[in-house]
Amino acid sequence: MSQNDDLPAFARGIAGPLGKLEHDLKTKVDEHTHRLFLQHCAMRGSDPSTVLRDCAYALVHGKTYGQMVVDKLKHDAERTEAMVKLIGSFQGPESNGVRHG
C-alpha cells in the first residue's frame, strides 16, 4: 500500500485557475535526488504530483497552484459581493425564500 492510497483520486481534465489541467510534465532525476524529493513530499504531507505542480506554477507564475486557487476563489467571492452591492440581494428558486446578500 503506497502513501498515495490515502489521497483522493481525481478525474483527468480538472479545471484549475487558468483552465483544464491536462498536460503532463515529466523528467528523470538520479536516485539520491528522487529519494530526497520523496522525503520532502512526505514532510509536506503531499504527493509528488502536487509538489511538482506547485513548483511549475511558482516558477512560471510566481505563485504555487494552491495560492492561485485561493486567489481565484477570493476574486470570485469579491465579484459576487460587488454584484450584490450593485444589483441588491438575490434568491433562486432552490433557495426556498432564503435571501442571499
* Each residue's pLDDT tens digit, 36-60: 999 999 999 999 999 999 999 999 9
Model confidence at 82, pLDDT cuts 50, 70, 90, reads confident
The answer on pLDDT for 95 being more than 70 is no
| Alpha carbon of residue 29 to chain centroid | 25
Domain boundaries, the chain: 25-62, 65-101
The pLDDT of residue 9 is 45
Q: Is the dihedral of CA 55, 69, 11, 60 positive or negative?
A: negative
Residue 16's H or E segment, with its range, is strand 14-16
| pTM of the complete model beyond 0.95 | no
Using a 10 angstrom Cβ sphere, with 0-12 exposed, 13-18 middle and 19 or more buried, the burial of residue 12 is exposed
Q: What is the pLDDT of residue 32?
A: 98
Task: Please give the average per-residue pLDDT across 14-42, as a whole number.
Answer: 89
Given pLDDT bands bounded at 50, 70 and 90, which one contains residue 16? confident
